[in-house]
């Protein structure tokens, strides 16, 4: 993606009337190019690699702002820090590979339907829900010698 072309997230920011500074543009670009679920530390690292004129405080502030604007979603995948991803593709959930830490996204209509049904049964209107599954690959090749970084929250 060209550095001068407004990134997808930058466009969203503009649409919502946010003042676009150099650092916001930068962070928006990093977010737009991410296809994973980075934490603030990681976003900061990626942003720094493109332009050193950012502070981690600004990344925190921006990420928070974008979450409030509905542009970003915050997740808790069990680690100690929050991880973010752009709100875009329809409602989906996450399967975390407990051996590698890799996050697989998925959506499932049956599941959505069940959610609605459960809420209704309990007398509630569903305004949101969150699902994380933790799994282990079924009979993969013998696991690599990479020590799993078991971080606890």
Partner DNA sequence: TTAGGTGCAAAGGATTTGCGGAATT
Partner DNA sequence: AATTCCGCAAATCCTTTGCACCTAA
For residue 42, CA distances in Å to 70, 112, 126 come to 21, 31, 33
129 known ligand binder: yes
88 known ligand binder: no
Residue 7 binding DNA, by CB under 7 A: no
What part of residues 7-66 is at the interface with a second copy (CB under 8 A)?
none
The 10 Å CB-count burial string (b at 16+, else e) for 9-24 is: bbebbeeeebeeeebb
Residue 95 binding a second copy, by CB under 8 A: yes
Q: Which stretch binds a second copy (CB under 8 A): 10-18, 25-33, 53-61, 93-101?
A: 93-101
133 binds, among a second copy, DNA, none (CB under 5 to 8 A by kind): a second copy
Residue 34 binding DNA, by CB under 7 A: no
Give the phi and the psi of residue 100 in degrees, each rounded to 5.
Answer: -110, -15
């Amino acid at each position: 993606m060209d550095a001068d072309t407004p990134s997808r997230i930058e466009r969203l920011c503009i649409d919502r009337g946010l003042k676009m500074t150099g650092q916001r543009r930068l962070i928006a670009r990093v977010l737009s190019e991410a296809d994973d679920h980075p934490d603030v530390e990681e976003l900061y690292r990626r942003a720094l690699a493109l332009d050193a004129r950012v502070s981690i405080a600004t990344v925190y502030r921006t990420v928070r702002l974008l979450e409030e604007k509905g542009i970003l979603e915050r997740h808790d995948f069990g680690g100690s820090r929050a991880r973010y991803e752009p709100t875009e593709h329809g409602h989906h959930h996450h399967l975390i590979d407990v051996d590698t830490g890799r996050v697989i996204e998925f959506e499932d209509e049956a599941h959505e339907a069940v959610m609605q049904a459960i809420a209704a049964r309990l007398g509630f209107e569903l305004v949101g829900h969150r699902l994380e599954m933790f799994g282990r690959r079924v009979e993969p090749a013998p696991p690599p010698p990479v020590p799993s970084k078991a971080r606890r929250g």
